[in-house]
Structure 1
Amino acid sequence: MGIKERKHKAKEDLRKAILNAAREIFLEKGYDNMSIRNIADRIEYSPTTLYIYFKDKGEIFFALHNEGFQLLNQKMAVLAAVADPMERLKAMGKIYMAFAMDNPDYYDLMFVQRAPLNCIEQEGWSEGHTSFKFLEATVAECMKTGTLKKDDPEVVAFVIWSFMHGMCTLNNRDRCMIFDEDRRTHILSTSYESFLKIIEL
């Protein structure tokens, strides 16, 4: 590895370290109590160094947000090979729930934690938009093939997302502990398909 490659790797490693520390602090203390200084302290660098990589903590939050959506979209990519739209819709829900359960920190950061959206509004929420539009397109296909009742695909997609988000958040926040373990596993694994039956033809 040459000098140029080593420098590039060192920069990428430091950027990852900044984001990892920011993610930890964000989830521990919330956005308002996260600062460039406490991120710098955690990785033992000066705040000045962090400003070389990010202009402010809003930009760091935006980077973390996109990281999570990129990971989710990578998981969803396998669905492009599923021709039947209803089967794709069912699989989509399973992947979404698995992502939420396997990556609770990212999920919390992406969908639950409060943080200002001005950075997202300025940059454009391309990753979140991609995820939602894929869901909406699949819903529209299901309506076209007659497996879902005819309606506004965008509205139905939002309702489906809201249902899944509620279920995932309840589980991740331990609100499903009212059920014993076996029953909880059954409910979480079957609720989405039960919900889809309500809107199926």
Structure 2
Amino acid sequence: MAIADRRLREREDQRRLITSTARRLAEREGWDAVTTRRLSSEIEYSQPVIYKHFGSLDEMTEAVALEGFVELTETLTRARLTAQPDDAVGAAAHAYSAYALDNPALYDAMFTRANRLTFSAADTPTPLSSAYAELRAAVSTIQTGQDIDTLTEVFWAALHGLVTLGRNHRLRSHHHAEQIELLIAQFAGR
């Protein structure tokens, strides 16, 4: 069994190296730079080794996105747990925004690049559900009498819109913090 365990660990290490290299390349040069040829050159694995782990570049991008959702969940959890109870929504909004701005290519893999990852489905992957649950936990601190899931979805959509429009220079970037504060005020009833 020790040999099988070692091979499994090596396979997991290879997979992590491939996804971390893809992510690093995407953050540095954009997703168009992430090709199997480029990855094989960067990590010194043959293209067939990469295809042994991922059937396509889309599948690899989805794996990177799933890692991003794990990180986003951790970020939102930390923000919510360290905030004052009456500022959980604000802490979550600022943490979400900072995460998206600090990881633009990863955020694209998670939300703007086409993939098969879906929310609100029977087969929604746990990392996606966990990220949503953290946003929901923060939003649930607002006492509005409205359906909490609908309120969370609208909050998330507005937050995503501010982040995406800001990143793409469609909004006044020097007003980003003010825009986030206005969103928080509207949802928190301040």
1:30-179 matches, within 5 Å, as: 36=36, 39-78=39-78, 79-82=80-83, 84=85, 86-113=86-113, 115-117=114-116, 124-143=124-143, 149-176=144-171, 178=172
TM superposition shift of 1:104: 1.2
Distance 2:126 2:57 in 1: 19
Q: Is the 8 A contact 1:62 1:119 kept in 2?
A: no
Alpha-carbon deviations, 1:53-109, whole Å to 9, x = none?
Answer: 23443432221011111111221222224451x311110001011111111111121
Q: Size of the alignment, in residue pairs? A: 182
1:27 partner amino acid: G
Partner of 1:27: 30
1:198 partner amino acid: Q
- Which one has the largest radius of gyration? 1
Distance 1:87 1:106, change over 3 A: same
Identity of aligned residues (%): 25
Distance 1:118 1:129, change over 3 A: closer
Aligned-residue CA RMSD (Å): 3.3
TM-score, length basis structure 2: 0.75
TM-score, length basis structure 1: 0.72
Distance 1:82 1:42 in 2: 41
Which has the larger displacement, 3-12 or 156-165?
3-12
Distance 1:108 1:56, change over 3 A: closer
Could you tell me which runs of 5 or more consecutive residues in structure 1 were left unpaired when the two chains were aligned.
144-148
Distance 1:73 1:166, change over 3 A: same
